[in-house]
Chains A and B, each alone.
Chain A
């Protein structure tokens, strides 16, 4: 199982903030997880089809698309940050 969290604009447009899911067959990286999520429907495709910048964190550290996802990880997806 992995835990996936969505923040800010993503949380709003998906109407989803957190979920537990089995790591899907063949998904080993953030890029592959994004491609998997993009198949869930229009709102998901819009966010995860690669046209928007969606940043990711694994276990609370910023990562890039090629980073490996493994069972037990917490993955966060969010838009570019705007604090300060």
Chain B
């Protein structure tokens, strides 16, 4: 289980292979990759800056992994989140979850993304033709998280 916050890009294939080969009892690996869109709320996005709260970010991501581990039978998990300046089609986030059977990995991956979206202290600022703007949090993300608490 690991979390990383970094400015550098990540190699999805290399990360999946490293996890796959690390445990012979893994039967399934689910990956989620988030990338920067070129359009948001009707405006072209030229670039995006991601700010975070160092130390808290890592603790928050570790707590999300821990909660997933307590709820589902997962063998391994990895969260990599980038910060700093990113361009459209740059990768932002990677979540990998490994389990003996696919269902635990699918479900835990979705849980981890829903929690990351609403609890991990990252903030996006977009650069558009009409200037800079902070991205607003979405109610739909809070709703996505709340279904895990029922």
Give A residues with C-beta under 8 Å from B: 5, 7-9, 53, 57, 60-62, 76, 78-84
Taking A7-B121, A84-B113 as given, write out 19 further A-B residue pairs in contact, using a Cβ cutoff of 8 Å, ordered by the A residue number: A7-B123, A8-B125, A57-B56, A60-B60, A76-B53, A76-B56, A76-B121, A78-B123, A79-B137, A81-B117, A81-B122, A82-B123, A82-B135, A82-B136, A83-B81, A83-B93, A83-B117, A84-B117, A84-B120
Determine if B59 is an interface residue (Cβ-Cβ < 8 Å).
Answer: yes
Query: Number of B residues whose C-beta is below 8 Å from A?
Result: 27
Q: Give the A-B contact count at a CB cut-off of 8 A.
A: 72
B93 touches A57 (CB 8 A): no
B123 contact from A53, A57, A60, A83, Cβ within 8 A: A83
Bound CA span A8–B50, Å: 9
Which residues of B have CB within 8 Å of A8? 51, 123, 125, 134
